[in-house]
Amino acid sequence: MRSWMSEGTSYKQGIPLGEPMMGGGIARVIDSRADGFVPGDMVQARLGWQTHPTIAARFLQKLDLSLGTAEDWIGPLGLSAVTAYFGLRDIGGMRPNDRVLVSAAAGGVGQIAVQIARIEGCRIVGIAGGADKCAYVTNDLGAHAAIDYKACSTGADLEAAIGRACPGGIDLYFDNVGGATLDAALAHLRHGARVVLCGRISQTHAAERYGIRNLDKLASARGRMQGFLVFNYHDRYDEARAWLAARLRDGSLRQRLHVLEGLDQAPIGLGMLFRGENTGKLVVRVEA
């Protein structure tokens, strides 16, 4: 969303001045002139920061509430979780016993990535900001260790902390942060390691982009680094959600939502993301 406010992205134009801020969400149908949708249906779409959007039916997906609640569809059945699923499996080639490192591990995508890796029999280390978030990553999400990046004064400190938490190196790094965190992780790649570029929250509005210095480590490890967009997996969303819903039912997958009340909190919430003030997926609940 921060990118959409300025130049846009490779897959989406920027938002013109005067138009509602874009953003995905879940809503209840109040009125419908479209076949297949009736008042009371729960749907998801790019609703935007507005209370009563009018949206063409082709842009809506009706929620299958047999898979989970509306809150589940925001978190472990939503696009954040689907992103973690395909990022780890298809891009990261995750295998049992992999040594996995996840940045922004207490965030919307990170919390699901940690749990998927745990369920699949990997050893997981999460990176998060602050003692409370690190405790959540280990105690609630089941990571084997957590690194508090806020306790690291320099990139060298973070690199050393990763070395202590991952003494045998990293097979798979799931990156939501970019910048110095990515650089520090690259220093610890094992032979054949995979680096998944999911997000770059540290660089989105940085005054000066961070220059990665450890790319030689990727080459010497015969590793692979690849970015992706979850939208490219649209035809396989049902596959991911079937797996995620089964893990919800058996209790091995959980979520934490960080909820702000009222549409007027949306700009505040966006700022919170860049300051690392959320634990779990940050959402705004709009009471219409």
Q: What is the pLDDT along the chain (288 residues), one digit of tens a residue?
A: 777 777 656 566 788 888 889 888 999 999 999 999 999 999 999 899 999 999 999 999 999 999 999 999 988 999 999 999 999 999 999 999 999 999 999 999 999 999 999 999 999 999 999 999 999 999 999 999 999 999 999 999 999 999 999 999 999 999 999 999 999 999 999 999 999 999 987 766 666 777 889 999 999 999 999 999 999 999 999 999 999 999 999 999 998 889 999 999 999 999 998 888 888 889 999 975
Query: Which segments within 95-134 are labelled E, that is strand?
Result: 99-102, 123-128
C-alpha–C-alpha distance, residues 76 and 100, integer Å: 20
Taking the model in full, what pTM does it have? Answer: 0.88
Q: Do 244 and 253 contact (CB within 8 A), yes or no? A: yes
Question: Distance of CA 266 to CAs 72, 104, 205, 274, Å?
Answer: 20, 21, 18, 13
Local structure of residue 107 (DSSP, 8 states): B
pLDDT score, position 153: 92
pLDDT score, position 200: 80
Question: Quick count: other Cβ atoms within 10 Å of Cβ 62?
Answer: 14
Q: Three-class SS of residue 84?
A: helix
Amino acid, res. 36: G
Q: Three-class SS of residue 44?
A: strand
pLDDT score, position 279: 83
pLDDT score, position 2: 72
pLDDT score, position 103: 97
pLDDT score, position 1: 77
